[in-house]
Amino acid sequence: MQLVKITCEIRYLERMKLLTGYEAIHKDMLKKEPEKVESWLTPGLRIEDKEKKRTMLVDPVRSVIDIEQPPNVGFCRDSVTQFFRSIDERLGIPQIARYGLRSTWIQEYKGSFQDLIDKCKQNIFGGSSFVERVNDVGAVFDYYLEGGQKLTMTVGPMEIEQLKSQFLNFEPGSLPSPFLYVDVDLGDTATKQFSVQRLRNFFDKAVKEGERLVNESINQIGVSR
């Protein structure tokens, strides 16, 4: 199996104070707190790192980092930590509404794309007549974990062009086709304060759950390694 993308997002319970300077000037001049600050136009910061295939976004309600075709999980963990630590040090991350980490994995299939579709029909849906005549298949599974965390897995057959057009921002290097696509998204909506250690613990759990579900999917559907 191959990790092709990791997306880590933190959504905020309150808007991040990107306009603190504007608010201070308003208060200096009018001697009162500004109203309807949320209506002020706030440009988001978007950073593209083409060399390392990373895309980063900072705006008032959330911050996101995408990492494509990483060399290893450790590189992703370090990048995620560095990104959110920088935001917290420079701007101060407000109380968090949701931590989210989405990992995208593929497993090469040696046969044809149609053969892989047929395998998924048989081994996910049990050869049900409901899917017998459909051209393509995919499945979404929701799991509820301890502590109010929700995990969503999407699995199905895919070819490289679909992956490139729908999920990747950068031109990928060498990738197989066709393959089994497995996307695992772990979300935690328990409101909490930001800390680097909490972020790392969440990252490690999300990747571990992703690896577990990918292995189960590969075995269930019968895609050889």
Q: Where are the beta strands (DSSP E) in the chain?
A: 2-12, 45-49, 54-58, 62-68, 96-108, 139-144, 150-158, 179-188
Low-confidence stretches of the chain (pLDDT beneath 50)? none
The predicted pLDDT at position 5 comes to 97
CA–CA separation, 100 and 214 (whole Å): 18
pLDDT tens for each residue of 38-51: 666 666 788 999 99
The predicted pLDDT at position 9 comes to 98
Total Cβ atoms within 10 A of residue 37? 15
Residue from 218, 180, 210, 178 nearest 77 by CA: 210
DSSP run (H or E) holding 160: helix 160-167
Predicted structure pTM score: 0.87
